[in-house]
Amino acid sequence: MPQMAPISWLILFILFTLIFIIFNSMNYFSYLPSTPSTSTSINKIQSNPLIWKW
């Protein structure tokens, strides 16, 4: 569509960029990772002592 004015291309670019940013931010913030319970993480830390062998 070469007949379109440059301002229309600029508006379309800004519109698609904003839609892209909004879509990605919605996907990023809608993901809720499963958090492990604190008791299992403490048991893992205590059951694996660090023994350094130099």
Rg over alpha carbons for the chain, rounded to the nearest Å, is: 25
pTM over 0.75: no
Phi, psi of 4 (to 5 degrees): -70, 145
More confident residue, 2 or 9: 9
- Give the C-alpha separation, 23 to 12, whole Å: 16
Tens of pLDDT, residue by residue over 5-49, are 777 888 999 999 999 999 999 999 887 778 766 555 454 555 556
